[in-house]
Structure 1
Amino acid sequence: MRIGELSARTGTSRRLLRYYEEQGLIVSQRQVNGYREYDEACVDRVLQIRGLLDAGLPTRIIKQILPCLDKPRVIHFSDATPEMLATLECELTRMTTRIEVLTRNRDAIAEYVDAVLEGDRRKSEKASTGN
């Protein structure tokens, strides 16, 4: 598939896809006319990269762990350096904290929405009974 299709299927701009390629995160083959050609596996790879970026991992770390990701949630990284492990532990702690904050915010918003809907329901009931 060409870059436009990959962009559409992943919701990732063409510019960002070229950046991922420049960083060695994805690869393409060049056609005779110079167009980039990506294989089907790039769709999942780009989505995986975006998820890792959204989680806060920098591209330099993503580049190191991508080859170790056989499938989602399975990482085989037998030659991890102490620096790499420390970085990943720091990122893990940061993500866990972020998840806790997001969970609290989600719960607060859900409670607010429930309260507003309950208030609206009560108003509708009063209006329909004439009280």
Structure 2
Amino acid sequence: MADMNRDRPLSPFMIGPYYRPQMTSMSSILVRITGIASFGTAFLVVCWLLAAAFSEGAFESLNWLMTSFLGDIVMFLASWAIWYHMLGRLRHVIWDFGYCLDVPISEKLGWGMFIGATVLALFTAIVV
């Protein structure tokens, strides 16, 4: 049973005075956020394709948004989110096999995810 006489909370969800953020916890939270953001971007792309199927006016409006500078930024951030999420899932597969579980290595994997997603998103933006 949990010790109820502690001065700190039982869960790490109170970031601030009770819980010091760690690279592993922040990268895990960011994996969840990028998953949700990827879903939102997929919805935007589906709306773009549906607009193309339904009417020329609707497609022109969404096509203007998707091909504008703002659309380029959204698509770049979406590609970063997809790469980060994919690298996060790969990290969890490595952990599931029992490798790289030490804290210093886990922190390096978190930084590797962030740097790797940035490099891969830039590569995607340049090539595509």
Normalising by structure 2, report the TM-score: 0.31
Greater RCO, CA 8 A, separation 6+: 2
Which is richer in strand? 1
Normalising by structure 1, report the TM-score: 0.31
Which is richer in helix? 2
Instruction: Choose 1 or 2 for highest CA Rg.
Output: 1
